[in-house]
Amino acid sequence: MKGLVKAQFSIGIRKQGFQFSFLLMLIYAIATSLYYCSTQIGYEYSGLYNASFLSGINVDSDFAWFFCRIMPFIIVLPSGFSLFNDYKIRIVTVLQSKYGVKKYYISKIISVFILGFIVFAVPFVLEYLLNLVIIPGDAGNTITNWPMYTNVYFDMGSSYLFPEIFAYSPTLYLMVSIVLTGIFGGCASVFIASFAVFRVQFKILFFLPLYMFIYVISILADTFGNKYYVFDAYIMAFDGVFGKSLFYYIAIMIFLLTFGCGLIMSKSYMDQI
């Protein structure tokens, strides 16, 4: 099983979709960091932004809206076509006969999840490391120009998803947010990849399920309040919408993962070698 996951993973990272989406996220993360660093040239030391806040997933960043809008489409690229490609080139039969039907699908789910996680977590970690090289470690401003560790700072933090972690260390908060974004990317990748069981003819249709899901959620948010906006309020870090619920965020991820796994595993009972 471990060998099969490794094999599927190594096939996945060689695909153009994964490489393109990873490169795009990396360019986005680094461009955000360099943009904010360039705006601080000539600033006094006391006015510099802290490295933890110069992140592409910071909702206060000037490009966050752009990231939120392209993410539902970029999520498809790393591993959304993985199962579809296997069906098309008929490698499914070879792998299933060698390893078994169930093992094949379980390893597929694991490799798809890992590929999705990597694309939406690793670039932002690399971005943080770049920030640490450029910005002094004890710079004390946020990108909304509030100084750190003041009353306003803590008031803003009280509306974030992990206010205690944020109050303790914004770096730790950023890392937790990046991991959760990566996990969302993985769950969404499994959700999208699972639609290959319907034997769709064209890859373009894989862009539809997640976008529709996010659109329906946004309608709910329009009706019941901003705290239900998955992308802006949860995937992005440092978001100040009040009333957010970690349970809601985890429920969305569990739904995506369970739906995807359920659809894929239901196919495992229908496949015969």
Partner 1 sequence: MKKSSIYILILLLSVFNGIKVLSLTDLYGINESVVNNIGLAKPEFLYSYMTLLAFDMFPIILVQLVCGTYIYKHFFMATAYYFTRHGNKSKWFLNESGKLFFEIVSIISTYIISSTFIMIMLGTKIDNILSLIYIDISIIILFTLYTYIFTFIINVISIFVGSQIGFIVVFSIEMVFVIMLLIHEKIGFSNGIGNWLIKLNPISNIIISFHSTKFGFNTYIDKLDINFDIIYSILYLVSIALFCVFSALFTLKNIDLSIENREEIG
Cα 14–16–19 angle (5° rounding)? Answer: 75
String of contacts with partner 1 for each residue 17-56, x by CB under 8 A: x--x------------------------------------
Q: Which residue, 9 or 166, has its beta carbon nearer to partner 1?
A: 9
Q: Which of residues 54-113 bind partner 1 (CB under 8 A)?
A: 62, 64-66, 68-70, 73, 76-77, 81, 85, 88-89
Q: How far is the CB of 122 from partner 1 (least distance, A)?
A: 20
Total residues contacting partner 1 by CB under 8 A comes to: 35
Q: Produce one character per residue of 159-173: b if its CB has 16 or more CB atoms within 10 Å, e if not.
A: bbbbeebbeeebbeb
Member of 5, 11, 13, 15 binding partner 1 (CB under 8 A): 15
Query: With binding defined as CB under 8 A, does residue 6 bind partner 1?
Result: no
Q: How far is the CB of 218 from partner 1 (least distance, A)?
A: 6
Please, what's the largest Cα pairwise distance for the chain?
69
Q: How far is the CB of 224 from partner 1 (least distance, A)?
A: 10
Burial (Cβ within 10 Å: 0-12, 13-18, ≥19) of residue 33: buried
> Which residues does residue 237 pair with via DSSP β-bridges, in sequence order?
58
Burial (Cβ within 10 Å: 0-12, 13-18, ≥19) of residue 267: middle
Distance (Å, whole) CA 241 – CA 126: 27
SS (H, E, C) 70-91: HHHHHCHHHHCCHHHHHHHCCH
Q: Which residue, 51 or 252, has its beta carbon nearer to partner 1?
A: 252
Q: Which of residues 170-199 bind partner 1 (CB under 8 A)?
A: none
Q: How far is the CB of 235 from partner 1 (least distance, A)?
A: 13
Cα 168–174–175 angle (5° rounding)? Answer: 100
If you compute the radius of gyration of the chain from its CA atoms, what whole number of angstroms results?
Answer: 20
Pair 96, 87: CB distance under 8 Å: no
Q: Which of residues 203-232 bind partner 1 (CB under 8 A)?
A: 203-208, 211-212, 215-216, 218-219, 222-223, 232
Q: Which residues bind partner 1 (CB under 8 A)?
A: 15-17, 20, 62, 64-66, 68-70, 73, 76-77, 81, 85, 88-89, 201-208, 211-212, 215-216, 218-219, 222-223, 232
